[in-house]
Structure 1
Amino acid sequence: MTSPSQILLVFPVGECGGAESVFMAIARHLDRSRFEPAAWFLRTGPLVEEVRTLGVNVFLHPITRLSDPVNFWRTVKAGRRLIIDAHIRLVLSSLGYGHLYGGIAAHQAGVDAVWWQHGIASPMNLIDQLAVSIPAKMIITSSRVAARAHVEVFGMNGIRLEVIHPGVEIAPDHPDRVASRQVVLDELGIQPGKVVIAAISRLQPGKGQDIFIRSASSALRRYPQVMFLLVGSEMFGMDRGYELRLKRLAVDLGIEDKIVFTGFRRDVPRLLEAIDIFVHPATAPESFGLSVVEAMAAGKPVIVTDVGGPRETVIDGQTGLIVQPNNEQQLSEAIETLLANAQLREQLGRSARDYAGAHFSQRTMIEKVEAALHSVLEADTATKAQRHEEGR
C-alpha cells in the first residue's frame, strides 16, 4: 500500500482570516490516506494550537521583519531542515509572504512548491514582486478575476495557474432558528423584533466599514428600528486606530447606539443565524470574499460591492444585490430595498443558500485541492523517473 504524501502547509500568521480559514479546512479535511499534512507557522497565534488539535504536526519558527536578512535566512534554513527531516514532498504556501519563505526553503530542499495567491496581484505590492520570482510548480488563485490580475501584472512565466474557489460548510437548516437567534441577540444587547444588518470582516480601510456606517446613517432616517453589526477587529498589527476612527464616525453621525462593534468572533455561524441582511462594502479589489459565501450558505440575502471576487459569487438580483464601491448612496438604497421587502429578503436568501451549496461547498474545494496536489506530485514522480532512465 502506498504511504500518504507529506504536504507542508505554510501559514504566514497564527491569527484567523479568510486565507487562514482556507488552510485550516485543508489541514482538517485532506484525505489522510493520500496526504499527510504538516503545518509551518511563521508567526504565533491561536491558530497554532487549533491546527495542532487536528492531529497535524505543527512547527513554529517566528519571523521578525522581512528587512532583517539574518532572521530571514535563518528561518529559510530552518524550513529547509524541516522539509528534509519530515520527508516533505510538496510545500503549499499561503499568500506571497508565505511563499517567500516556503518557496525558497522548498527549492533549497529539492522539493516542489505551490503558492496559493489569496489576494489580487498588484505591481505596487513588493511582496508579490519578490514571491513571483521564486520557483513554483503551480500558483492557485481564489477567483478568475484574481487569475486575470496575476497574468496582467506578472505574465504566466511558464507556471501553471489554477483557480480554486474557497469553500464553506453548508450546515443543515434547523427548526429552532428563532430561539437560537434571540440568544445571540440577547448577548449583543439587541432587543427582540429588530431587523439586524451585519458586515463581517477584519477592520481595515479597504473593507469599507466607513461606507457601511455612512449608509447605515442614511437608512436609519427611514428605518430607525434597524440595528447594525460590525464584526471583526484590526488584525496582524495592521491599521491600528482604524476601529477607533470608525467608532468616532458613528458618534459624529449620531448613530452610536445603533451600531454594535462585536470585535473578533470565532462563532460567525451563530452570528449569521441571528442577522437578517449581510453587507460586504469592500472598496479595494478582493480576490474572493469568503464571508460573503458564508452568509449565502447561511441563507442570508447579501449586498456586495463590485470589487472583483464577489462578482463571481453573487448573481445580481438572484442571489443578492451588487452595488458600486465607495458609493454610500447606492449601498443605502440597496439596504432600504431589502428593508422594505421581507419577501425579497427571503427569496434572495433561499437562492443564495442553494447557489452556495452547488458551487462553493468545502467538499468541492478540498477535492480540487487534492487533484491539484496530486497532479504536481505525479509530474514530479514522472520527471524523476525520466531522469533516472536518462542516467542509466
Structure 2
Amino acid sequence: MPLFLHPKRRPNLCPRPHLPQKTASCRKSGIIFGNCNKSPRGRAMPPRIAHVITTFYPTNTSAWVSALADDQKARGWEVELIVGRNASPELLEQKRRQGFFISRINSLRKYVHPAQDAATLWNLFRRFRNHDYDLVHTHLAKAGVLGRLAARAAGVPNIVHSVYGATFAPTQPWCRRLLFKNLEKLAGRCTDRFIFVGQDLCHAYRQAGICSNGKAEVIYYGKDISPFLKVGVLSPEDRRLRKQAAGFAPEALILGNVSRLVPWKGLHHALQVVRALKDKFPQLRLIVVGDAKTPSEGAYKATLLDLVQSLGLTKKVIFTGWQPDPAPYYAIFDLYLLTSQPFEGVPGSVIEAVVAGLPLVGFDCFGLREIPGISARLARPGDLSGLIALVEEELSCLIGGRPLRPMAEADIARLKERFSLSRMVQQTFELYRTLLEGRKAPLTLEGTR
C-alpha cells in the first residue's frame, strides 16, 4: 500500500524547532508539553492542532478558521496556522500578536501548478513528519488535497477537512471535472472526518463516492446578520433617500451582487443580463461589491472590465472594490442577482440579501433551500436566457410598485440558530473531541476558558 494511503502510519518524530520540544518520551508518559522535566508523570497534555488554508485574507473562510483557532487556543491547546503564498500581512501579524504560530508555504497557491504543488506536498509532509500534531484540519481545495495527502503520509493520527464548496461541477469542462473528482476521492481516503457547510454539498460528495455517511458531518458556518437586519426594516422612503445620497436617481433600478471577483461567481453572466435589458430599463444599473484577491483572480477582473467596455456598459456597471461593511449597499439594491455556479456551499451573500428584505433572482445552486425564509426565482445553472427573462419579470414587478417584504420573525430566529458562530465552534469542538479521545496518550481537551 502506498505510504500516503497507509492508515494511521506514525513515523519517528523530530523535535519542533521553534516551540518548546515535545519529545517522544514526553508523549509516551503523557507529560504536559513544554515542561517535560518538571511535570509529574501521567499528567495530560494539550492537543496540538494545525490548520492548513490555501489563502488567508479578510474573507468569510479565514474568519471561520480564526474563530476555531481562537476557541482552541482559549482552551489551552497548541494551535498553528499554516498558510499559502496569498495571505494578508496585516491578518498574519494580527494572529501572531494573539500568540499563534504562523507558518507560510510560498509554493502553496490557489490554482493548479504542478511544480509548485509537488513542492507544497513535500514541504507539508516534512512539516507534519517533524512536528507531533494530534490533528490536522485543512480548509479550501488546494490545501485540502495536498494537506491531507501529506498528513496521512506523515502519520498524523487525525485528519479533518472542511468543504466550503465543491471542486467539481457540471458546468466545468469534463476533463477538469474528472481530474478534480478523482483527486477528491484520493484525498478522501486519507480523511477521518469531513465537515460540510451545507446538506446539498454533503449529498453531492456522498453521491460522487468521495466520502461515506460515517465520515460526513454538516456544520453550518457562523454569520453575524445584525447589520443586515437593520437594512431589512428600512422603509421604502428611507431606501429612496439612501439611493439618492449615493448619487442615483430615485427611479433607478439597481441590481446588486456581493462577491469576490472569481470565475465561479459568474459575474460575466451579470454583465450580459444588463446588456440585454438596458434598453427596456434605461435606469438599470449593476453594482458589484467585491474585488480580486490573488493575481490569478486579477486576470478575471481584467476580463470583466474589458467586457464592460466592449458591451458599452461603462455607465451602467459599478465595481466598488472590497468593502469591509457591505450592509449599506443592500439598502440601495432593488434586486439581488445571483450568478454563482452550482458548487457553492451556502452562499453567504444570499443570506445577507434575504435578511435585508431583497427579492432574489439567479442561477440555482447548492445551499439555497437551506436558508430559512428564502424566496427566490431561479433559472437552471448556466441558462442565461432563462435568467434574463426572470430578471425582466422581476424588474417589471418592482416598477409596478410591489413592496419589499421584511423577513418574518420566525425565519429570523431559525436563521440565527442555524448560522450561529458559537454553534459552529462548539460542534467543531465536539467533533475534535470524538477523534482525540480515541488516542492512547492522555490529552487535556477542556483546558481553561
TM-score interval for Structure 1 and Structure 2 normalised by the shorter chain: 0.7 to 0.9
2:195 partner amino acid? I
The one of 112, 121, 124 equivalent to 2:158 is 112
Instruction: Tell me the residue number matched to 2:327.
Output: 269
Q: CA deviation at 1:78?
A: 2.6
Which residue of the other structure, out of 190, 198, 217, is the alignment partner of 2:275?
217
Q: CA deviation at 1:357?
A: 4.8
Q: Where does residue 328 of structure 1 map in the other structure?
A: 384
Q: 1:251 aligns with which of 291, 297, 309?
A: 309
Shift of 1:281: 1.1
Counterpart-to-counterpart distance in 2, 1:284 and 1:50: 35
Give 1:76's aligned residue.
125
Deviations 1:199-239 (A, max 9, x none): 12222333221221121233333322232112233343335
Question: What do residues 29-77 of structure 1 show as CA deviations (whole Å, max 9, x unaligned)?
Answer: 6793486754221224227337517825041222315534445323332
Give the aligned partner of residue 97 of structure 1. Answer: 142
In structure 1, the residue matched to 2:200 is 145
| Aligned mate of 1:166, from 217, 221, 235 | 221
Quote the Cα distance in structure 2 between the aligned partners of 1:378 and 1:33: 16
**What's the counterpart of residue 389 of structure 1?**
none
Aligned twin of 1:43: 85
Select the residue among 152, 177, 188 that pairs with 1:132.
188
- Give aligned-pair identity as a percent: 19
2:407 matched residue in structure 1? 350
Against the structure 1 CA distance between its residues 22 and 338, is the aligned structure 2 distance closer, same or farther, given a 3 Å change threshold?
Answer: farther
Structure 2 residue aligned with 1:19:
61
> Pairwise CA RMSD of aligned residues?
3.8
Residue 98 of structure 1 aligns to a residue in which SS? Answer: helix
Q: In the TM superposition, what is the alpha-carbon distance from 1:162 to its structure 2 partner?
A: 0.9
The one-letter code sitting in structure 1 at the alignment partner of 2:427 is A
User: What is the Cα deviation at residue 246 of structure 1?
Assistant: 2.5
> Structure 2 regions of 5+ residues with no counterpart?
1-42, 108-112, 169-177, 443-449
Corresponding residue of 1:319: 375
* More deviation, 143-152/118-127: 118-127
Change (3 A) 1:49 1:379: closer
Q: Which residue of 1 aligns with 2:358?
A: 300
Q: Which structure is higher in RCO with an 8 Å CA cutoff and minimum separation 6?
A: 2
Of 50-59 and 277-286, deviating more is 50-59
Quote how far apart the aligned CAs of 1:181 are: 8.9
Q: Is 1:62 aligned with 2:62? A: no
The C-alpha deviation readout for 1:137-159, integer Å capped at 9, x for no partner, is 21112222221221222343585
1:154 matched to which residue of 2?
Answer: 209
Residue matched to 1:237: 295
1:8 and 2:50 are equivalent in the alignment: yes
Matched, 1:380 2:404: no
Say which SS state the counterpart of residue 179 (structure 2) adopts: coil
Contact 2:67 2:425 in 1 (8 A): no
1:171 to partner: Cα distance? 0.6
Q: Secondary structure at the match of 2:440?
A: helix
Deviation at 1:363, TM superposition (A): 5.6
Q: Secondary structure at the match of 1:238?
A: helix
Counterpart Cα distance in 1 of 2:224 and 2:343: 25
Give the residue type in structure 2 aligned to 1:90. L
Residues 361 and 133 from structure 1, CA distance in 2 versus in 1: closer, same or farther, beyond 3 angstroms? Answer: same
Structure with greater helix share of residues:
1
Point out the more displaced range, 237-246 or 291-300.
Answer: 237-246
- Does residue 32 of the first structure (1) align with residue 74 of the second (2)? yes
Q: State the alpha-carbon separation in 2 of the partners of residues 236 and 230 from structure 1.
A: 18
1:94 is displaced (CA, Å) by: 0.4
CA distance in 1, matches of 2:244, 2:71: 32
> Is the 1:61–1:78 contact (alpha carbons within 8 Å) kept by the matching residues of 2?
no
- Counterpart of 1:11 in structure 2: which amino acid? I
Moved more, 271-280 or 374-383: 374-383
CA distance in 2, matches of 1:127, 1:237: 24
* Higher deviation after alignment, 208-217 or 170-179: 170-179
Q: For residues 276-295 of structure 1, what are the structure 2 equivalents within 5 Å?
A: 276-295=334-353
Q: Please, what TM-score do these two structures have when normalized by structure 2?
A: 0.70
1:154 counterpart SS class: coil
Partners of 2:331 and 2:92 in 1: CA distance = 27
Structure 1 unmatched runs, 5+: 387-392
Report which stretch shifted further, 122-131 or 206-215: 122-131
Quick check: which has more Rg, 1 or 2? 2
- Name the amino acid aligned to 1:371: Q
Q: How many angstroms apart in 1 are the aligned matches of 2:341 and 2:419?
A: 30
